[in-house]
Amino acid sequence: MTTLKRKGMWALVSMATLALLIASCGGDDDTPTPRPTATTTVAQPTTTAPTATVPPAPQRGGILNLRSTADPRNLDPLQSLSSSDVPFMVPVFDTFIRSTPDFGVTAGLAESWDVRDGTNIVFVLREGVKFHDGTPLNAEAVKAHFDRAVDEQLASIQGQFLTSVENIEVLSGSHLSVSTFAPNALLVSFMADRLGFINSPTAVNSATLDQYTRNPVGTGPFALDEWVSDSHITYSAFDDYWQGGLPLLDGIKRFVIEDPAVALAAFRSGELDVYKPEPAQVGLIENDPDLTIVSWSSPGYNYFQLNRTMEPFGDIRVRRALSMAVDRAALIQLEYDGRATILYGPIPPIFAWAYDPDFKAYEYNPDEARRLLAEAGFPNGFTIDPVVWFGGTARRPRLEALQQMYGDIGVKLELLQIASGDASRGFQREWIYPAYSSALDPRTELQLLMSEHFKSTNAKNVGKTEIPGYDALLVQAEGTFDLVERGRLYRQMQKMVVEDMAMYVFLHIPFVYEAVRDYVIDYVSHPTEQVELSKVRIER
Amino acid sequence: MKRLIIQRLIALPPVIFVVTMITFSLVLLMPTDPTDIIMGEEVNPALLERVTRELGLDKPIPVQYINWISDVFTGDLRHSIRTHLPVTTELKNRIPVTLELGILGLALSLIVAIPVGIISASRPNSAIDSAATLFAMWGVAMPNFFLGILLIYLFAVILGWLPAIAYVPFSEDPWLNLKGMILPVIAFSTTHTAVLMRQTRSAMLEVLRQDYVRTAHAKGFTERKVMTRHALKNALTPLITVAGLEVGQLLAGSVIIETVFGLPGVGRLAVTGVITSDFPVVQGVLLFAGAWVILANLLADITYGLVDPRVRSG
């Protein structure tokens, strides 16, 4: 895909998003800014006072029908191990800090916060908020939630985000002070994901772990009603929701439909109101006048990873040659019908404040790749046996295309499809396979993307490769509150990952699409599905 | 007849015991360590240890088997790793869905296959026979998941008569439940109908060549009486064998149909169980499937006895 085309796509994306935002923001003052708010900014409290021009307050009514590909595994935000559980939690929970669609942060259950000095943050909680079981939300309840996140017995993966926290102190019913060992600019945005989905302490204490995972209790606009495994989950409006007059829906029904063809049929027949089409399905519905398609670039990406501990990958010339041998534009055409962005480094374009659209490295150049291989002593190439991969048949075209592209420079790939657990264990922990084709899970915080794989001590860093100076930069980024400055640090790290480490062949990053029926009002898509459902309404 | 049933019942426990052995060892053959799947890419050593201990995976395999089998005999199939519900609850919730699909599907198959098979046999090479043959070939050749998607596209998207999302609990709305079942049942029954139709036709052709049929005709019985009284009754035995096998196959078919139509039945439970390495569920479903096939065969045997006096007298 050419730059021009990509820019065209971007323009389309932003226009679609903008159109939806304009259409949907009827007087609210929390329209996301084009750039995310820096974490140091104290967010404005959200007021929902309607302006004079707004017609009479909408009546509550209707059920919003959504779709997921699989059942959630766990609805307790602190026990959950997968980001795919998040959409199922969103109706039930308000987040402590709300994540905006561009991954900025704004007021959630914490109405405002004040970074006293780099190491102390005082949060002011919203008053009059109740959990679905009637327990009031106060500083004690929030503290109990964070304490549970670091509880060794529970071993929550959310605990990792609080390792920098030295002390959490209840100042009053509505004031909570959090102190960190060192300045931490990321803490607030960590609280805008599962870690910040505050559980009712009463409900947590009166249920077993297994019971609670199926019956979570939050302060959100909807309470969980019924969970029929492998079929659907229903939610109904919470009458005591703290924002008067909200939610505007009677309920939400989230269907589990595995097959995309069936899901598309259900969307076209009107059984689903919102649907995320596969890139290849977009063409089938984009001319439908009764819906709006929004799209954004995924916060995760696809890559091909080399194991440096195995020969001949110890030689950086070989690794660079393998990066240059891939025609990424052709891959995007083949796999996503052109609906993806070329990726040259580890910063996805959705993190606009850090992404550098002009950054290019190892562009497609098979002649140079062959020259580098010959220089490294492999004029006739070599065989990589095996290249492990997992996932359904949908991934196969990519691997076969790579096989062909590498064949052009004399490198033969033997493919081996294995289970995902085996792949990640065998490749990332035991280092027994030479190469791995995989995808990185979407992350809402760039620091996580930059730490995973590249930090010398990270569990997924094959060979525990240390890039000189890299880990120090990570620490520096963590303590940098200024987003522009932090973006610069990440770009510096990106350069190191690409030039000095060169263990990854970065491939591409697909667009994610969401089609919303026009009778669904104020549905503002969010990359991690943290849609503000309380304000969504249906007007037929 | 009683003796026949008792004989069959006595043979059951050893078979079930073998089934439990196989069920348990198959899970050990799964290529992935269940804890890997549970952890996903986020590895947390403390959690890994807790989960391994909770699942009893830190014990030697024979001990694991003995623990498991003693739980099974007390009716405890453990908890699903994925849904956190007892496997027995999962099965109890899902068996009705699969049974409904299976019973309706098989009933539709029989209602269509037997009359059409008889007509085909009584008028071989006629237009109706050729049409039935064509249907049977198509029915066997057509993968039912693809047929399912085509049906959804036609009836839900183009015509808008039936829902694409099939499942509504019967207790919630019986009418919507049945309406949602129409497409899955059609998709499910096509292959069975095709097989049973061909079976009926060939069994009937075989019987119609027999002397006693000619005798019946000679006696001046009506065509109808000859067909039902003399021919069909005798053609039933092979048909029951095939129908019995088809009942055993129900679960296999339900795996695909339930996945396509999003029905929360036993088949779907099996698929997601395997994909997510939810081994207590896989073991539970396999046990259930084993019991199901054994029961289907038992029923087929008993039905033989009912229609065929030679079997009854033993």
Mutate to test the interface with A, among B39, B43, B81, B84 (most CBs of A within 10 A): B84
Average pLDDT for residues A175-184, to the nearest whole number? 94
Three-state DSSP state, A520: strand
Determine the distance in angstroms separating the CA of B55 from the nearest CA of chain A, rounded to an integer.
13
Distances (CA, A) of B95 to B15, B152, B263, B277: 22, 24, 11, 21
Tens digit of each residue's pLDDT, chain B (314 residues): 777 788 878 888 888 888 888 888 877 777 667 776 666 555 667 777 877 887 778 888 888 888 888 888 888 888 888 888 899 999 999 999 999 999 999 999 999 999 999 899 988 889 999 999 999 999 999 998 899 999 999 999 999 999 988 788 888 889 999 999 999 999 999 998 999 999 999 998 988 888 888 888 888 888 888 888 888 888 888 888 888 888 888 888 888 899 889 899 999 999 888 877 788 898 899 888 888 888 888 888 888 778 777 776 65
Who's near A396: CB < 8 A, 6+ residues apart? none
Complete DSSP assignment for chain B? -HHHHHHHHHHHHHHHHHHHHHHHHHHHT-SS-HHHHHHTT---HHHHHHHHHHTTTTS-HHHHHHHHHHHHHTT---B-TTT-SBHHHHHHHHHHHHHHHHHHHHHHHHHHHHHHHHHHHHSTTSHHHHHHHHHHHHHHHS-HHHHHHHHHIIIIIIS--S-SS----TTT-HHHHHHHHHHHHHHHHHHHHHHHHHHHHHHHHHHHTSHHHHHHHHTT--HHHIIIIIIIHHHHHHHHHHHHHHHHHHHHHHHHHHHHHT--SHHHHHHHHHHTT-HHHHHHHHHHHHHHHHHHHHHHHHHHHHH-HHHHH-
Who's near A127: CB < 8 A, 6+ residues apart? A174
Is the Cβ pair B37, A420 closer than 8 Å?
yes
- Taking the C-alpha atoms of residue B238 and residue B198, their distance in angstroms, rounded to an integer, is 12
pLDDT in tens, A470-501: 999 999 999 998 989 999 999 999 999 999 88
pTM: 0.83
A428: nearest CA partner in chain B: B41
Q: Which residues on chain A are in Cβ contact (under 8 Å) with B42? A: 81-82, 157
Determine the distance in angstroms separating the CA of A475 from the nearest CA of chain B, rounded to an integer.
21
Is the Cβ pair B259, A460 closer than 8 Å?
no
pLDDT in tens, A56-114: 677 888 999 999 988 898 999 999 888 889 999 999 999 999 999 888 899 999 999 99
Is the Cβ pair B47, A157 closer than 8 Å?
yes
**A536, A304 contact by CB (below 8 A):** no
Dihedral of CA atoms A512, A514, A515, A517 in degrees, nearest 10, equals: -170
Three-state DSSP state, A280: helix
* Identity of residue B140: V
Strands A120-125 and A110-117, bridge-based pairing: antiparallel
Is the Cβ pair A231, B264 closer than 8 Å?
yes
Residues 405-424 of A with CB under 8 A from B: 418-422, 424
C-alpha gyration radius of chain B: 24
Q: How many angstroms from the chain centroid is the CA of residue B10? A: 24
B281 and chain A: CB distance < 8 Å anywhere? no
A230 and chain B: CB distance < 8 Å anywhere? yes
Return the DSSP state at A197: B
Residues 124-163 of B with CB under 8 A from A: 148-149, 152-153, 156-157, 160, 163
Query: Residue for token digits 């395999």?
Result: B61
Count of C-beta atoms within a 10 Å radius of residue B215: 12
Average pLDDT for residues A257-266, to the nearest whole number? 92
Residues 181-220 of A with CB under 8 A from B: 210-211, 213-214
B164: nearest CA partner in chain A: A266
CA A450, A454, A456, A459 torsion-angle sign: positive
Q: Which residues on chain B are in Cβ contact (under 8 Å) with A70? A: 272
Determine the distance in angstroms separating the CA of A515 from the nearest CA of chain B, rounded to an integer.
17
Q: Which residues on chain B are in Cβ contact (under 8 Å) with A420? A: 32, 36-37, 40
- Which residues in chain B are classed under CATH 1.10.3720.10? 91-313
A456, burial (CB in 10 Å: exposed 0-12, middle 13-18, buried 19+): middle
A30 pLDDT higher than 50: no
Helix axes A316-324, A366-375, angle to 10 degrees: 160
What's the token pair of residue B62? 């024979």
B64 and chain A: CB distance < 8 Å anywhere? no
Closest CA relative to residue B263, chosen from B143, B77, B80, B93: B93
ipTM: 0.83
Is the Cβ pair B260, A152 closer than 8 Å?
no
Of A70, A258, A459, the CB nearest to B43: A459
Q: Which residues on chain B are in Cβ contact (under 8 Å) with A421? A: 32-33, 36-37, 39-40, 277
Is the Cβ pair B260, A262 closer than 8 Å?
yes
- Taking the C-alpha atoms of residue A278 and residue A270, their distance in angstroms, rounded to an integer, is 18
Is the Cβ pair B153, A265 closer than 8 Å?
yes
Helices (H), A187-281: 187-190, 201-205, 209-214, 260-268
Closest CA relative to residue A361, chosen from A458, A501, A468: A501
- Taking the C-alpha atoms of residue A70 and residue A259, their distance in angstroms, rounded to an integer, is 10
Q: What percent of chain A has pLDDT over 70?
A: 89
**B35, B279 contact by CB (below 8 A):** no
Query: Residue for token digits 């029904």?
Result: A253
pLDDT band at A139 (very low <50, low <70, confident <90, very high): very high
What's the token pair of residue B154? 């036609």
B279 and chain A: CB distance < 8 Å anywhere? no
Rounded to a whole number, what is the largest CA-CA distance in chain B? 85
Closest CA relative to residue B16, chosen from B238, B306, B298, B302: B298
Dihedral of CA atoms A479, A485, A491, A492 in degrees, nearest 10, equals: -70
Is the Cβ pair A230, B33 closer than 8 Å?
no
- Taking the C-alpha atoms of residue B193 and residue B206, their distance in angstroms, rounded to an integer, is 20
Name the residue with higher pLDDT: B166 or A271: A271
Which range has highest mean pLDDT (A31-40, A400-409, B23-32, B61-70)?
A400-409
Question: CATH for B91-313, among 3.40.190.10, 1.10.260.30, 3.40.50.1100, 1.10.3720.10?
Answer: 1.10.3720.10
